[in-house]
Amino acid sequence: MRTPHPESPPPLRTRRHRVLPGFGLTLGTTLLFLSLIVLLPLSAAFIRTAGLTWDEFWAQVTSPRVLASYRLTFGAALAAAAANAFFGVIVAWVLVRYEFPGRKIVDALVDLPFALPTAVAGIALTALYAPTGWIGRALDPLGVKVAYTPLGIWVALTFIGLPFIVRTVQPVLEELEPELEEAAATLGATRLQTLARVVLPALLPATCTGFTLALARGIGEYGSVVFISGNMPLRTEITPLLIVTKLEQYDYAGATALAVVMLVVSFTLLFGVQVLQRWFFSPERHGR
């Protein structure tokens, strides 16, 4: 009888070496960079505010002038982000689905608010919408005043927030094949049904992301708003301007107190939107 050969020992596992740096190095670099650029400046605001007693802090962040700036800042940012969520999808749809003369120029103009200094944008918008401006002169006989009103702040925040919606929705539209819409039409769906059941569900996650980015940008915007708002206390004064005003008055504790409130509220809004988005679009909720 032939004796069976002994089983060969299993091969030794060798550690795989990657061309790119490993997880430990990249994670450490990420944490170091975020700590220096993000966490340390934010923690400095909290540390400076800690010098105030609770009564002093509450008095700083709940005065009538400050509360009015909160309502205007968050309300205008929310309204501008909502308007951009609607019109930004239309702009992205036109740029992706249609060919027309000057399409590349229009596509480049979408990024103009990114490249244009915000102060320059604010001066240009003020010149256009002031009572003596090209657009303001036409609106004045109709009783519509834009510059130096909350409406002007909304215009400025809409201007700087539009690219966030367009650039997040545009790649999704490019990946969404027109054959899906044609198949829906072949099956008897109307244009409205195709839009509601095929196109919009695919665009909703990207639209929510763009809305969140536009909202965050609008809450902290200063340069494009400071000129067109008029800076009237209790009427057209935004919270970032109020923070700058306190800094100019050497009220560093009051400025950091407002900054902490803005930071906490902004983070809560963004975190809430992200949680709702993850829950709404989770595969488990849709049975996938």
Is 12 part of a structural domain of the chain? no
For the record, the structure tokens of 222 come out as 């200063």
Domain count, the chain: 1
- List the CATH number of the domain containing 165: 1.10.3720.10
Is 285 part of a structural domain of the chain? no
Cα dihedral 247, 250, 251, 256 sign: positive
Is 287 part of a structural domain of the chain? no
Residue 153 C-alpha from the chain's centroid: 16
For the record, the structure tokens of 271 come out as 């975190």
Is 206 part of a structural domain of the chain? yes
Alpha helix ranges (H) inside 130-251: 134-139, 150-175, 178-186, 191-194, 200-220, 223-229, 239-248
Cα dihedral 156, 158, 164, 166 sign: negative
What's 75's DSSP letter? Answer: H
Please give the chain's pLDDT, 288 residues, in tens: 455 555 555 555 555 555 555 667 778 888 888 888 888 888 888 888 888 888 989 999 999 999 999 999 999 999 999 999 999 999 999 999 888 898 999 999 999 888 888 889 899 999 999 988 899 899 988 889 999 999 999 999 999 999 999 999 999 988 888 777 778 878 787 878 888 788 888 888 889 889 988 998 999 898 889 889 888 888 899 999 999 999 888 888 889 999 999 888 888 887 887 787 777 666 665 555
Amino acid 227 reads: F
Is 44 part of a structural domain of the chain? no
- Three-state DSSP at 120 gives helix
Is 16 part of a structural domain of the chain? no
The Cα–Cα gap between 97 and 198 comes to 15
Q: What is the pTM of this model?
A: 0.82
Can you give the residue range of the structural domain that contains 138?
62-280
Question: To 10 degrees, what angle do helices 103-110 and 150-175 make?
Answer: 120
Is 265 part of a structural domain of the chain? yes
Is 30 part of a structural domain of the chain? no
